[in-house]
Every structure is written in C-alpha cells, then in structure tokens.
A = this chain, B = another copy of it.
Amino acid sequence: MKLRPLISACTLLAISVCTPLAAKTIDTERAKIELETVAEGLKNPWGLAFLPDGAMLVTERVGDMRKVSADGKVGEPITGLPEIFSRGQGGLLDIALDPDYENNGWIYFSYSEPGDGGNSTALARAKLDGNALVDLQRIFSQQPKVNSNNHFGSRIVFKDDGTLFLTLGDRYSHKDDAQTLDNHLGKVIRINTDGSIPADNPFVNTEGALPEIWSYGHRNMQGAAVHPETGELWSGEHGAQGGDELNIDRAGLNYGWPVITYGENYGGGKIGEGFKKDGMETPVYYWLPSLATAGLTFYTGDVFPDWQGDVFVASLRAETLARLDVEGERVLHEERLLADELGERLRHVVQGPDGYLYLLTDASDGKIIRITPAD
C-alpha cells in the first residue's frame, strides 16, 4: 500500500519528460516542425539505412548493427560482422543499401579494421539472413594502417553509375599524407560495388598513385551525399579548430589539407600557408567557429516543400542541424535548427522514404529522432 504514491509520481515524471519532445511545435524559417523519438537506447549510433519494409538498420560505433522496426523496436545485435577496432572515433561506422537492394540484397558498411601496423577504415558488404550477416565480402581496406584512434571518415555514397564513393580521414597523426597519392589517408575513393576499380578513375594511369583515389587533400569527412540534380559528390569535412568545410569533390582535385585551411591549430597558431593556393580547391562554404560537422544530406521530399534542394548538416559540437539554402554551387543562407529545442550532439541526418528527416543523436543512450511537419 505504501508504494502506490511513489509509482504515481514516477508515472507523472515520465510523461512530463517525454511529452514536450513529441508535442511541441517548432517554428522554423521555412517550416513548422515537430520532433518525435523513434527509438532510444542506441550506443552512439553512426549510420542509418532504411529497409524496403520501413524498418531501419542502424550501426552503433561500439561495434554492433541492429534492426529497428518501423515502430521503433530495437533488435538484438546482428551477427556475422567482421572484427572491428572500437576505440576513440573508430568502430562500426556508416551503412548503406545497394541501389538495387531489392534484387541483390547487398548491405555495405564501413568500419575501423585492426591489422598489421594499427588500424584503418575498411568497407565490406554482406547480405542479411534473419538476424545474421552472410556472404561477407571486404571490398576495400584503407592503406596504410596506422596507430591512431581518430579521423576514420567515413560515409558511403552511391554514384548513379554503379560505383560508390567512400570518404577517408587523414588519421589525424598523418595529415601530410593527405597531399600524396601513394596512400588512402585524407582521400575520397571511388570503386565499383564489388571492390574493383573503375577504368575512368582520375589517377588510374598516374604512376605511383593508388587507382581508387577520386580526390585528395581532405581531413575528416563524416558527411557526404550526391547532389540530386548534378550527381556530384558534396562532402562535409571537420576542420581543425574551425574551418569545417563543405566541398564539391571532383575527380582528381586537391582540397588543400593541410596546406590551405581556414582552421587553426588547437590552442592557436596558423596551419599551413593560408586560405588559398593555386591548384587547390577552396570550399563552397565553411564554418568558423567549427560546428564539428557530421552527416549531410540533400532534402528532396514533398513533406517540407520549402526545404527542397536544401543541404542539412548534422553538428556534433554545436548540437544543431544546419540547413543551407543552396543555389547552384552557392550557399545563400544558413539556418541553425534544434540547438535550443533538442540540444544533442547529432551524428547523422537522413531523409526517410516517407520524406521525413531522421536524426541520430551521438550519446551512449543515443536516439533516432524524426522531424515531421507540425500541421
């Protein structure tokens, strides 16, 4: 009999905590929106892919992949993953379905792979059989492996020609390697979905260059997406203490890290030679101070008509979702969403098949949050 009042108090508490997120209308510049928690209890979720039935595959950086049902039920860890180096920024990272998934069943995922000399980012594909991955194939492994817990990249983006891009970080301790073509550090690579190398890659005929390389001079790109009209790859790159960049990554071009950057060394002091240099690309846009940019997507849905064509960028440090009004290759305006209403580190933003935006919060009790229209 004594317990009853205590239980009632807890029930009330639970309601007061959960209701505001579900019910509050947020009036943004171009849309009235609401937030809804789809799932929670995920350990630093990093990547998200929608299955044809509306369920989601989610990666947790700690090294687990889980299916989350359309109504938010979080499944047990999927078995059959390769060995993963889960430390620092490393772990199980991005996930994407083959554009022809309904016919071939391939699921691609990136991860930190341990091995001789340290670790590096790898890309594998496998098929899902019940709650197990089968037919596992490692289709790419970043060279060289180094002893570092940082700057793994890595987003998987399909081009419209049967190839895919993978963004690869400079591993932090090896930033000068981003400028040379004999390694995969600080690069975007382009490969066929079976891991073979496209004949029209920019450096296939360059002596001493690794043929997977698409673009170079990068630092750590945790966001990337293909422009819905031009088909070009746009990526978001963590800068050093400021100088996060939005780039259009074009075949064979040098994006300047660590020679040119808008960032500074932690604690102060210039890096490199300034802001621009012949033969190196400057960004479409940059953030100083840094947002710590992570996942990135173009919005193409019908649910938020005034967001069509906009770029959304998840931010870790600034705990915001940046909306960029883009025209051609220009960013005309930036709006920062949800810093006040949500206030969570955001690892990723994905457009669902329903036209809603889905966010992953970067926390040990991480969530999938859906943005829906308020009306």
Residues of A bordering B, CB below 8 Å: 29, 242, 262, 276, 282-289, 325, 327, 329-335
Contact = CB atoms under 8 A, between A and B. Distances in A.
A333 B263 CA distance: 12
A282 B332 contact: yes
A287 B330 contact: no
Given A29-B242, A242-B29, A285 B327 contact: no
Contacts of A334: 334
A374 to B, nearest CB: 15
A233 to B, nearest CB: 19
Contact of A332 (B242, B286, B289, B327): B286
B330 A288 contact: no
20 contacts: A29-B242, A29-B288, A29-B289, A262-B325, A262-B333, A276-B327, A282-B327, A282-B332, A283-B332, A285-B330, A285-B332, A286-B325, A286-B332, A286-B333, A287-B333, A288-B333, A288-B335, A329-B330, A330-B331, A331-B331
Nearest to A262: B333
Nearest to A329: B330
Contacts of A262: 325, 333
A357 to B, nearest CB: 20
A333 B287 CA distance: 6
Nearest to A245: B332
Contacts of A283: 332
Nearest to A287: B333
Contacts of A333: 262, 285-288
Interface centre among A262, A282, A284, A333 (most CB of B within 10 A): A333
Contacts of A327: 276, 282
Contacts of A325: 262, 286
Given A282-B327, A285-B330, A329-B330, 9 more contacts: A276-B327, A283-B332, A285-B332, A285-B333, A286-B332, A286-B333, A288-B335, A331-B331, A334-B334
A205 to B, nearest CB: 32
Nearest to A327: B282
Contacts of A332: 282-286
A242 to B, nearest CB: 7
A76 to B, nearest CB: 45
A147 to B, nearest CB: 34
Contacts of A282: 327, 332
Nearest to A243: B333
Contacts of A276: 327
Interface centre among A283, A289, A327, A330 (most CB of B within 10 A): A330
